[in-house]
Chains A and B, each alone.
Chain A
């Protein structure tokens, strides 16, 4: 049973381009959480999704950021018109159910660098 898979592991984008980060949850997991880690900081919650639904996006910037978790395929975190401040590591976690985040398993992260 493969763990949470994120790709790409490293992504370089020029300012103004779009970044698409993918997260495939563990088999049987229908809940996905995205966290962002700025350099030298801890993780900050961004968004929580279930299949085809955004449950909580309170941690997501209002503009340029969007997330989806379609019925088929991975969850996508999309950042439009990237700026240097978007450079960070983006981690995805999945769990089999909403409650008990202790059951969440983390991916290896995608490191986004905006140049």
Chain B
């Protein structure tokens, strides 16, 4: 069954604005990761947050994790045209090597 569900499915904002994407999951997790995928390209690992962490920063990225609500958010501040891509969350459970992926949020940054 699908573990991660991102919303919104698509998001279009002006350059310079902040973009927030959400991910919800069903079972308990060990870690949650966010990846970026440019159209028709490979996957770029953005950030990993462990189940005992609540917030993590990396440059213009801020990830939060709420295990009580089984949800995570990815915030991209001061968006740029180059941030246009699909963003996926992926979770793993303790002792299970599979990564479970959501369907992604398609982000479009308008110049």
Chain A contacts for B92, CB-based, 8 A: 101-102
Interfacial residues, chain B to chain A (CB-CB below 8 A): 2, 4, 31, 33, 40-43, 45, 48, 88, 90, 92, 95-104
Q: Mark A39-71, 1 if CB is under 8 A from B, else 0.
A: 011111100100000001001000000000000
Given A40-B104, A42-B4, A101-B97, list of 20 further CB < 8 A pairs? A35-B101, A41-B104, A42-B90, A42-B102, A42-B104, A43-B88, A43-B99, A43-B101, A48-B97, A56-B97, A99-B97, A101-B92, A101-B98, A104-B99, A106-B43, A107-B42, A108-B42, A109-B41, A109-B43, A111-B40
Inter-chain contacts of B33 with A (CB < 8 A): 102
Q: List residues of chain A with CB within 8 A of the CB of B101.
A: 35, 42-44
Assess whether A42 is in contact with B42, with CB atoms less than 8 Å apart: no
A-side interface residues toward B, CB under 8 Å?
Answer: 31, 33, 35, 40-45, 48, 56, 59, 91, 93, 95, 98-102, 104, 106-109, 111
A97 to chain B minimum Cβ distance, whole angstroms, is 9
Q: In the bound complex, do residue A40 and residue B103 qualify as a contact, i.e. CB atoms below 8 Å apart? A: yes
Complex contact B99–A91 (CB within 8 A): no
Per DSSP, chain B at the interface is loop
Min CB–CB distance B107 → chain A (angstroms): 14
Which 6 pairs, one residue from A and one from B, show the smallest C-beta to C-beta distance? A42-B101, A108-B42, A43-B101, A45-B98, A106-B43, A42-B103
* Contact between chains at A45 and B99 (CB < 8 Å): yes
Residues of B within 8 A of A91 (CB): 42-43
User: Which residue of the partner chain B has the closest CB to A42?
Assistant: B101
Note all chain B residues with C-beta closer than 8 A to A35: 99, 101
Do B103 and A41 touch across chains, with their CB atoms under 8 A apart?
A: yes
In angstroms, Cα B98 to Cα A109, docked, is: 18
Contact A33 B42 (CB under 8 A): no
- Asked if residues A33 and B97 are in contact (CB atoms below 8 Å), the reply is yes
Which residues from B are CB-within-8-Å of A102? 31, 33, 48, 92
C-alpha gap A109/B38 in the complex (Å): 12
Q: How far is the CA of A69 from the CA of B92 in the complex (A)?
A: 23
